[in-house]
């Protein structure tokens, strides 16, 4: 590109490195130019449009704002059932309903404190002291308008709901500490919210702390795609302090503003449908379920089907424990009368009779069995899905050992995603693969790619249960080669791990030939002598390899099943302790 006054498109925020590439200059030159203009920035920091425009002007370019096409939620094909019901209602009958919000963020950035302050200051129809029971959701009031909060913060709960097609929240409030900035769980929360295509408002908490640095945090947020509205982006960032009770009203007003710009409507007289927020069995009252009504008006005495549970509602109470007879759109209520415990995220609806309810439950049970037999997306069948018109892009979650590995992997994947089948990276972070990664993959039909990392035992179990494909690599080019082959339809079936069983070490013995031998009890499945074994202690893998011996009493055996005790020897390994966990597995071709 030459320097003759040509126009150049720039986004609302751009990282120095990317700006240098755009105008074909050295990042060092750009940093020097910024310094002469009084702006100190590093190669990985982002600057706003106006600052970038000044820099490029000095090289003869005219900056123009980049036009970004908005993504349409319908393209995912994952429209929640309650939204489908509302879409079928007569438009003339639809009325505005209170927005439903949930709070996500890093573990110690103040989510719970913020919720407590909001609740104590604004709980509708009375003070916080009026709350007599926790029902998983509540409503607050600001300037005569209601907002509904899901009081079940956490990425797992949020994603579990979306995995079942619920997507109960209309808006996500992302809590980020002004003294800490964007952390791994913050990135994870952003990935979950973006995958669900839910608007995000950032609550910049702890602004009262002496080491708070809001500008640095805004730069970090811009780098992960949340560009502040004051920089020309579309993310509202509200400074708050849960401790000093600063900015709470501003945050709620921002939520109302986002709600006003989003079609949050329902028909209070239409089909009654909504989402299960949580449910549990109470010893004295039976099943207690928190339901969020999303269309229509739920009334006590009606027959409800929720997931695979059903029953006539004996009683309904609001978030303060006060008995109510009716609940309209966006209203959370605790109900009694269901014959089972539905799962968070299950859809509920009102039916005419218990006979109809039983028929629906039976159909759902059959459908659940069929889904369990369905094969989830994998690299092997991606090309076939594309040819059948079922797949347009490959969703990936990427985990790597260090940031230095993650960046070249992302770069290579971006190159591969420019063909007929696109690549969409939902989440990329350093660290081992955990249950949250698997939940996100399950909800988004994604594949998890790991480089020089391990998947922990709970994550492996969950992946097997949910049918999520985990692929682990130690060499980058093999990873990119596999994905390239998959995009071209040439990939051979992967060699995957199949877990045979688990055992726990109850005692440790000394043997003359083998050194230390573990006295174990098989807790599930089986141990096989010709299989591989993994020894874990507190989640850490200490040994992985072949079994040296498997004995029952004094006899060598080929296998040991659930409930039996046996002696296990390891090749060239003796660091065994009581309480260690064993995982027995084989490697085989995926079907």
Taking the C-alpha atoms of residue 25 and residue 43, their distance in angstroms, rounded to an integer, is 13
In this predicted structure, the answer to whether residue 121 has a pLDDT above a threshold of 80 is: no
Question: Do strands 422-430 and 393-400 pair parallel, antiparallel, or not at all (unpaired)?
Answer: parallel
In this predicted structure, the answer to whether residue 260 has a pLDDT above a threshold of 60 is: yes
User: 581 phi and psi, to 5 degrees?
Assistant: -110, 140
Q: In the CATH scheme, what architecture does the domain 98-263 have?
A: 3-Layer(aba) Sandwich (3.40)
Residue ranges matching CATH 3.40.50.10050 in the chain? 379-492
Taking the C-alpha atoms of residue 85 and residue 271, their distance in angstroms, rounded to an integer, is 7
539 confidence band (pLDDT: 50, 70, 90): confident
Compute CA distances 301 → 202, 287, 319, whole Å: 41, 16, 19
Beta bridge partners of 499: 585
2 confidence band (pLDDT: 50, 70, 90): very low
Average pLDDT over residues 67-76: 42
What is residue 236's predicted lDDT score, i.e. its pLDDT? Answer: 93
Neighbour count for residue 129 (Cβ, 10 Å):
9
Determine the CATH number of domain 273-361: 2.40.30.10
Contact between 439 and 507 under an 8 Å Cβ cutoff? The reply is no
Average pLDDT over residues 366-374: 62
Beta bridge partners of 429: 399
Contact between 449 and 396 under an 8 Å Cβ cutoff? The reply is yes
> Can you list the pairs that 539-544 forms with residues at least 24 positions away whose Cβ atoms lie under 8 Å?
539/456, 539/457, 541/454, 542/573, 542/575, 542/580, 543/570, 543/573, 543/575
User: 359 phi and psi, to 5 degrees?
Assistant: -65, -40
Contact between 235 and 217 under an 8 Å Cβ cutoff? The reply is no
List Cβ neighbours of 296 (8 Å cut-off, separation of 6 or more). 266, 267, 268, 269, 270, 271, 272, 273, 329, 350
Closest by Cα among 134, 135, 164, 136 to 150: 136
Task: Identify which has the larger pLDDT, 76 or 563.
Answer: 563
3-state per-residue secondary structure call for 275-297: EEEEEEEECCCEEEEEEEEEECC
Compute the chain's Rg from CA coordinates: 27
Least confident of 63-72, 176-185, 266-275, 532-541: 63-72
Question: Do strands 286-295 and 332-336 pair parallel, antiparallel, or not at all (unpaired)?
Answer: antiparallel
Token duo for residue 152: 């079940």
Compute CA distances 206 → 105, 129, 211, 313, 450, whole Å: 13, 26, 9, 43, 34
List Cβ neighbours of 395 (8 Å cut-off, separation of 6 or more). 377, 424, 426, 441, 444, 445, 446, 447
Residue ranges matching CATH 3.40.50.300 in the chain? 98-263
By the 10 Å C-beta count (0-12 exposed, 13-18 middle, 19+ buried), 403 is classed as exposed
Task: Identify which has the larger pLDDT, 384 or 242.
Answer: 242
Least confident of 54-63, 117-126, 432-441: 117-126
DSSP conformation class of 99: -
**Superfamily (CATH) of domain 379-492:** Translation initiation factor IF- 2, domain 3 (3.40.50.10050)
239 confidence band (pLDDT: 50, 70, 90): very high
Edge-to-edge order in the sheet of strand 332-336: 309-312, 303-306, 347-351, 273-282, 286-295, 332-336, 315-317
Token duo for residue 340: 């089972």
**Superfamily (CATH) of domain 497-589:** Translation factors (2.40.30.10)
Taking the C-alpha atoms of residue 415 and residue 417, their distance in angstroms, rounded to an integer, is 5
In this predicted structure, the answer to whether residue 52 has a pLDDT above a threshold of 90 is: no
Contact between 379 and 487 under an 8 Å Cβ cutoff? The reply is no
Residue ranges matching CATH 2.40.30.10 in the chain? 273-361, 497-589
Average pLDDT over residues 346-375: 79
The pTM of this model reads 0.58
Q: Work out the mean pLDDT of the chain and round it to a whole number.
A: 80
What is residue 64's predicted lDDT score, i.e. its pLDDT? Answer: 84
Question: Do strands 495-511 and 7-10 pair parallel, antiparallel, or not at all (unpaired)?
Answer: unpaired
Buried b (16+ CB within 10 A) or exposed e, 443-482: bbbbbbbbbebbbbbebbbbbeeebbbbbbbeeeeebbeb
435-444 vs 184-195: helix crossing angle, rounded to 10: 20
User: 400 phi and psi, to 5 degrees?
Assistant: -135, 165
């Amino acid at each position: 590109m030459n320097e003759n006054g040509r126009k150049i498109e720039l986004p609302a925020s751009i990282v120095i490195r990317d700006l240098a590439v755009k105008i074909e200059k050295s990042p060092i030159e750009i940093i020097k130019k910024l310094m002469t203009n009084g702006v100190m920035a590093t190669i990985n920091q982002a600057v706003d449009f106006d600052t970038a425009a000044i820099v490029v002007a000095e090289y003869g370019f005219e900056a123009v704002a980049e036009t970004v096409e908005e993504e349409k939620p319908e393209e995912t094909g994952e429209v929640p059932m309650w939204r489908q019901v509302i879409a079928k209602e007569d438009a003339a009958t639809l009325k505005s309903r209170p927005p439903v919000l949930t709070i996500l963020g890093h573990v110690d950035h103040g989510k719970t404190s913020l919720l407590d302050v909001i609740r104590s200051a604004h709980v509708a129809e009375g003070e916080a002291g009026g709350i007599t029971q926790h029902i998983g959701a509540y409503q607050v009031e600001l300037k005569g308008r209601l907002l509904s909060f899901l009081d079940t913060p956490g990425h797992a709960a949020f994603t579990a709901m979306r995995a079942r097609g619920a997507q109960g929240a209309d808006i996500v409030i992302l809590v980020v500490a002004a003294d800490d900035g964007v952390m791994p769980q913050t990135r994870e929360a952003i990935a979950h919210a973006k995958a669900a295509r839910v608007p995000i408002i950032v609550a910049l908490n702890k602004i009262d702390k002496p080491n708070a640095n809001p500008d640095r945090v805004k730069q970090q947020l811009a780098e992960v795609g949340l560009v502040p509205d004051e920089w020309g982006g579309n993310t509202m960032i509200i400074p708050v302090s849960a401790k000093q009770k600063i900015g709470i009203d501003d945050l709620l007003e921002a939520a109302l503003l986002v709600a006003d710009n989003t079609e949050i409507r329902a028909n209070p007289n239409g089909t009654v449908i909504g989402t299960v927020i949580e449910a549990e069995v109470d010893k004295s009252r039976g099943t207690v379920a928190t339901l969020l009504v999303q269309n229509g008006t739920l009334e006590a005495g009606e027959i409800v089907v929720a997931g695979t549970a059903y029953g006539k509602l004996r009683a309904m109470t609001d978030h303060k424990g006060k008995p109510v007879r009716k609940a309209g759109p966006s209203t959370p209520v605790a109900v009694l009368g269901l014959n089972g415990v539905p799962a968070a995220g299950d859809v509920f609806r009102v039916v005419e009779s218990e006979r109809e309810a039983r028929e629906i439950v039976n159909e759902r049970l059959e459908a659940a069995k069929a889904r369990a037999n369905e094969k989830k997306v994998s690299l092997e069948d991606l090309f076939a899905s594309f040819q059948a018109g079922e797949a347009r892009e490959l969703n990936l979650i990427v985990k790597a050992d260090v940031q230095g590995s993650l960046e070249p992997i992302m770069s290579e994947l971006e190159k591969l995603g420019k063909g007929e089948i696109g690549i969409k990276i939902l989440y990329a972070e350093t660290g081992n693969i955990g249950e949250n990664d698997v939940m996100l993959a399950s909800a988004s039909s994604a594949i998890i790619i790991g480089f020089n990392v391990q998947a922990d035992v709970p994550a492996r179990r969950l992946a097997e249960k949910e049918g999520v494909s985990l692929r682990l690599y130690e060499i980058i080019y093999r990873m990119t080669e596999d994905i390239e082959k998959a995009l071209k339809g040439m990939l051979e079936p992967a060699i995957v791990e199949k877990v045979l069983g688990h055992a726990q070490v109850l005692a440790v013995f000394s043997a003359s030939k083998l050194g230390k031998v573990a006295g174990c009890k098989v807790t599930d499945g089986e141990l096989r002598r010709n299989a591989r074994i993994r020894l874990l202690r507190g989640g850490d893998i200490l040994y992985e390899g072949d079994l040296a011996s498997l004995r029952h009493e004094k006899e060598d055996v080929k296998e040991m099943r659930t409930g039996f005790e046996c002696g296990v020897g390891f090749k060239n390994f003796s660091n065994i302790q009581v309480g260690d966990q064993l995982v027995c597995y084989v490697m085989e071709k995926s079907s």
